Structure 1
Amino acid sequence: MTVARFYLSAPGLVCPLGSDPQTICQALFAGQHGLTEAHGWLPDRAVWLGQVDAELPAIAPALAAFDCRNNRLLLAALQQLQPTLAPLLQRYPAERIGVVIGSSTSGIAEGERAIAEYEQRGQFPAGFAYRQQEIGAPALFVARQLGVRGPAYTVSTACTSSTRAMMSARQLLQADMCDAVIVGGADSLCRLTVQGFAALESFSRGQCRPFSADRDGINIGEGAALFVLSREPGPVALVGAGASADAYHISAPQPDGLGAEQAMRAALQDAGLTPAAIDYLNLHGTATAKNDEMEARAVHRLFGAALPCSSTKALTGHLLGAAGAVELAFCYFALQQQQLPVQLRPPVSDPNLPALNLVTQPAAARLATAMSCNYAFGGSNVALVLARTDAGERQ
């Protein structure tokens, strides 16, 4: 029996590294970060954030109820997909094109500003609509922007939101409910997440340092990444996906990393690959003490110490619900350009962590496969595997 393959289009992407593939790849493969020191987010200190500084496109008046920064990030990514989308929108019925988006913030920032104005003036600002901050709004916005009428929903599982969205999109294709799915994620900066992670004492005092002995927490960022997932042959295929839910703790990871390892093993089994067949691993790598410790253990048990790997959160910050989609886009670029994403700088050796082959200098490599992993509050663990196809080898 022939197993159906599902292919990813080139991504539409906007993140702290830039708003076009050329700029993003230049920073990604050189290890140039997009973090800036920002004031006014915390009452007592400045904080390093990964902010998108590109001018974002305006949302049409007909969709004003969806107008928020989160959806403008999505629209910026969506516009980059137009060369891929245009023929698909003509070829397939609107009912056969789905949308699955991962997000953990939606338009909460607009809600924060609306409440602040209400407290000061006794009324909400003109143009504020509750739908802007609904967690399900991103997928509905994309569907209405494109005029498609297939399944459209938002997945919100914290930091695995957009990797879970990718799995959901594949399931829609496997069930023959769709011919193509616009899939990805978006999260925008808001005070809820910045101050929330600060309250958890998870925020770094400077730039985050994944897997380093002096790591002291995360930086938060924002961004959006979208793909078209379909049966249309292309240079990169989604060949494996695995997930687990260890439910160890509401916010802390399982210390031994068994849940993370289970997700990676499931993705390998789904892809029909052994650990030795993976050429690059994009780590979750939040730079918190507990995440990096459990992840290093899980990765070392499964892959040993030789596999090239890196945490690109050192460049972008943690994009929360968008992290999975953005980091999958980085893996896509790595496979296309045969370059390893760089982790910025060598970490200070931590004797409590098993050895990992962290990429800290620009390097070319022969890459046929790449795995990307994300882990989230509540014990949600997801791993995805991408592979170059014959079309990719010919490019």
Structure 2
Amino acid sequence: MSVPSSRQACRLSRPGVVCSLGDDLDVIAEALFQGRRGLTISDAFTPGRDLPLGSVTCSLPDWDSWPFEQRSRNNRLLALALQRLEDSLAPLRERIAPERIGVVIGTSTSGIGETESAIAAAGHDGPLPDTFRYANQELGAPARFVADRLGVSGPAYALSTACSSSARALASARRLLASGACDAVIAGGADSLCRLTVNGFASLEAISERPCLPFSEHRDGINIGEAAALFVVTPDEGGIQLAGVGESSDAYHISAPRPDGSGAHEAMRQALATAHCAPEAVDYLNLHGTGTPHNDSMEARAVTTLFETPPPCSSTKGLTGHTLGAAGALEAAFCWLALTRQQRPVHVFDGHPDPELPWLDLVTPERAASRMRYALSNSFAFGGNNAALLLMREEA
């Protein structure tokens, strides 16, 4: 359907991405469209228990020249994402004053991994190392880091709503532009692997010891990953637009999703409504799809309640692992690639969809290529913090 000319323009630049599939968009796209997993087996965070992890293995920027309070793996991931974003950043800084450029970053770990290392080095009674800085683990640290690296002085803050954090960061960037507070926003997210997250999910019995199988009848949990993904968000026409956003907070349970999927349904409904987009116009749906029994059941019900006929869809967490606070921005970047290259990411699992779930149109390799205009991306988090982003390819 056509979009009214009065809609809010919100252009998403070519993203800067680093994840377990790589840090080059061509390489990442090839893995997405061929269904190639980026998981490695390791017991680095669970000694004696090997787990598939979506670990970033490419070289990260050196931090030796950085202040101690900026030395975190999260910030190294962000620094590499910024390097990959440079083609979009350079012209931005030439035409927009620093105080008119904002930064919004979603995260759930910040620098907690460095705190773990400091505590391990200190032992039970010893002092923390001289290099330790508490500021490393503050949730606002990644946003301050990005603003400092770019020399911008507009609004800079972090959002932490678990696995929907960076999806909400992009929604927040859209509002900053609409309000007139900024002329451009650097928005996205980052999370890095650490003991807290891996063992936290293990304690919930939500971890799978094999590559995860979203929406399979044999699914038994998630894989954890790490990533950073950033966009330059501007109020410009053309390109790939963030056409709609939807957010809900159902507050059903501290970790479990609402079984009927009503909160997830509301987030998707809002995203379509803000873009004046009918459900049948959606060409691809990036599912939250963690591979846990409860999440996949809830999401399948939400999707089939909203869509009379579900659009082609896939969960990319089977390729990257669940990157937690970075997942929303990472999967928005995958949708950006899908719309730009007119191919859908493949759904990777064991080929045995759960017969007890409502039917979903899961993308197979032979159906990856297709003409697309709209892509919807879901992010559903602990505490019922749900978000959905609708991306649109602007027609010439």
TM-score calculated relative to the size of structure 1:
0.96
Alignment partners' CA distance in 1, 2:287 and 2:180: 32
* Other-structure match for 1:287: 291
Secondary structure at 2:52 match in 1: strand
The aligned counterpart of 1:166 is 170
Give how far 1:346 is off: 4.7
Q: Does 1:80 align with 2:91?
A: no
- Aligned: 1:135 with 2:139: yes
Tell me if 1:220 matches 2:224: yes
Report the equivalent of 2:375: 370
Please name the residue that 1:195 is paired with.
199
AA partner of residue 377 (structure 2): S
**Retained in 2: the 8 A contact 1:57–1:72?**
yes
SS of structure 1 residue aligned to 2:123:
helix
> Among residues 135, 146, 152, which one is paired with 2:150 in the alignment?
146
2:57 maps to which residue?
A: 53
Cα offset for 1:60? 6.5
The question of 1:229 aligning with 2:233 is answered yes
Specify the alignment match of 2:26 in structure 1: 22
- Residue 84 of structure 1: how far off its partner (Å): 1.1
Mapped to 1, the partners of 2:277 and 2:325 lie a distance apart of 27
For 1:306-355, what per-residue CA distance to the aligned partner results, in whole angstroms no more than 9, with x for missing partners?
41000000000000000000000000000000001012245313221000
Instruction: Give structure 1 stretches of 5+ with no counterpart.
Output: none
Q: Does 1:387 align with 2:383?
A: no
What's the offset of the Cα at 1:83? 1.3
Aligned residues: 391
SS in 2 for 1:61: coil
* Residue 44 of structure 1: how far off its partner (Å): 4.1
Mapped partners of 2:321, 2:112: distance in 1: 19
Which residue is equivalent to 1:3?
7
Q: Which moved more, 1:271-280 or 1:336-345?
A: 336-345
8 Å contact 1:345–1:361 — kept in the other structure?
no
Give the Cα separation in 2 of the matches to 1:282 and 1:334. 10
How far apart are the structure 1 equivalents of 2:85 and 2:236? 15
Show the counterpart of 2:212. Answer: 208
- C-alpha distance in 2 between matches for 1:199 and 1:55: 31
Matched with 2:342 is 338
For 2:289, give the aligned amino acid: G
Q: Which amino acid aligns with 1:107?
A: G
Residue 41 of structure 1 deviates from its aligned partner by 1.8
| C-alpha deviation, 1:304, in angstroms | 3.6
Structure 2 residues not aligned, in runs of 5+? none
Shift of the 62–136 alpha-carbon distance from structure 1 to 2, 3 Å rule, reads same
| Equivalent runs, 1:65-76 vs 2, <5 Å | 65-76=69-80
**Match for residue 12 of structure 1?**
16
**Within 1, Cα distance between the matches of 2:80 and 2:212?**
27
C-alpha separation in 2, matches of 1:175 and 1:61: 37
Alignment-mate amino acid for residue 104 of structure 1: S
Matching residue of 1:249: 253
Aligned equivalents of 2:38, 2:77: Cα separation in 1? 16
- Compute the RMSD of aligned alpha carbons: 1.4
Distance (Å, rounded) in 2 between the aligned partners of 1:48 and 1:273 = 38
Letter in 2 for 1:179: D
Any conservation in 2 of the 1:9–1:234 contact (CA below 8 Å)? no
TM-score (normalised: structure 2): 0.96
Task: Using the TM superposition, give the Cα deviation of residue 3 of structure 1 relative to its aligned residue in structure 2, in angstroms.
Answer: 3.4
Alpha-carbon separation, structure 2, partners of 1:63 and 1:305: 53
Q: Deviations over 1:18-46 (max 9, x none)?
A: 11101101101100000111023224411
Corresponding position of 1:322:
326
Distance 1:192 1:321 in 2: 14
Range 358-367 or range 299-308, more displaced: 299-308
* Higher mean C-alpha deviation, range 354-363 or range 326-335: 354-363
In the aligned structure 2, how far is the partner of 1:34 from the partner of 1:10?
A: 22
Amino acid at match of 1:168: S
Structure-2 separation of matches of 1:379 and 1:347: 29
CA-CA distance at 1:386 after TM superposition: 0.5
Farther-moved stretch of structure 1 (178-187 vs 58-67): 58-67
1:298 aligns with 2:302: yes
Query: 2: distance between equivalents of 1:57 and 1:346?
Result: 37
